[in-house]
Amino acid sequence: MLPWLQNNQFPLYLAPMARYTDTVYRQLCKREGADVVVTEFVMAESVLADEPQVWENLHYTEDQRPIGMQIFGSNPKTMAEAAQLLEHRLKPDFIDLNFGCPAEKVTCQDAGASLLKNPSKLIDIVESVVDAVPGTPVTAKIRLGWDDQNIVAMDIARELQNCRVGALTIHGRTKVQGYSGEGRWEIIREIAERVELPIIGNGNVKNSRMVKDIRDNTAIAGVMIGRAALGYPWIFNEIKQHLETGTQPPPPDIETRWNTIVAYAELLSARPARQHHTEQIKWMRPRLIKLTKDMRGSKKLRHDLQNITYLHQLREVAADQMKKELTA
């Protein structure tokens, strides 16, 4: 069993989200209480082609461990070879296989969630990767199925029990649902009760009360948090405090939030891939705006952040907002 799933631990995972959960955001979420992080997913063929952007996406710091590297693809041999290269070159704590992405650019390649229509091929891929990297745990992520008429998560979970897989993450929606509607946690719960494989629940995690209920009343082994953490990395510490004390803590104060936002932007600017325009942060605007979620005067804040170009301007916005909060 994976170490972080032993002794009745209930780990909080940061879900991989393309273009957002890069090495800096993962580092931030670890500091805020995430137990396990997973890289943005990369295509197996791109790993084998040694594309520079792949290694940028997979870059991590030691303080992010335990860290999983997520790959996707449709060819068992290629997936196995990519996993071997990642194991040799980057030594992740585990390799995660993505069978849940609903994006058309992925499913049209017979990868991601499209493999839920072909469970036998999905199992072939898992077995090939597990055999290829005996020294590195392998996990998988799926959705409930392609659509409501084809809910296959229970069948796949039962098959994976025999594949030496360390854990299975289940997103509680179908491919057709995408990210709309509610996650069907009752199905995830039933699967967790009926299989021996550790099940990590994912999909529409809203708050610490929800996570406490999952931990206390189901056999689910942990939760993976995606969009709820995208603009609010503090959710991990809030959940941990609630699990430990039984009481939901207050949100971080405005000073903590703005200091975190500025520090995040500074770390992003310092990444080697960005050093040619260290002070230029226009490209960060969507990320910074997400981090102001639920702040007072968010409409004006969005306008202010849409017009910043340099780090010093962000610092000025932050200082102004903290001053307003103190005098409010």
Q: Which of these, 6, 3, 4, 8, lies nearest to 215 by C-alpha position? A: 8
Q: Which tokens sit at 226?
A: 């995606």
| 68-78 pLDDT, tens digit each | 999 999 999 99
Category of 203 on φ-ψ map: left (φ > 0), alpha (ψ -120 to 50) or beta: left
Note the pLDDT of residue 275. Answer: 46
pLDDT digits (tens, 9 = 90+) for 251-262: 899 999 999 999
d(CA 79, CA 76): 5
Please pick, among 29, 101, 108, 163, the residue that the annotation labels catalytic.
101
Distance CA 207, CA 2 (A): 25
Q: How many CB atoms lie within 10 A of CB 206?
A: 12
pLDDT score, position 328: 63
Q: For the chain, first and last CA: distance in Å?
A: 52
Q: Which two tokens stand for residue 252?
A: 């971080």
The residue length of the chain stands at: 328
pTM above 0.75, yes or no: yes
Q: How do the domains of the chain map onto residue ranges?
A: 3-245, 254-327
CA distances from 259 to 82, 253, 256, 275 (A): 39, 10, 5, 22
CATH class of residue range 3-245:
alpha beta
d(C-alpha 266, C-alpha 252), whole Å: 20
Spell out the residues 6+ positions from residue 204 whose beta carbon is closer than 8 angstroms to its own: 172, 173, 182, 183
Give yes or no: 101 in active site. Answer: yes
| 102-153 per-position pLDDT tens digit | 999 999 999 999 999 999 999 999 999 999 999 999 999 999 999 999 999 9
Contacts of 208 (CB under 8 A, 6+ apart): 235, 238, 239, 241, 242, 243, 248, 249
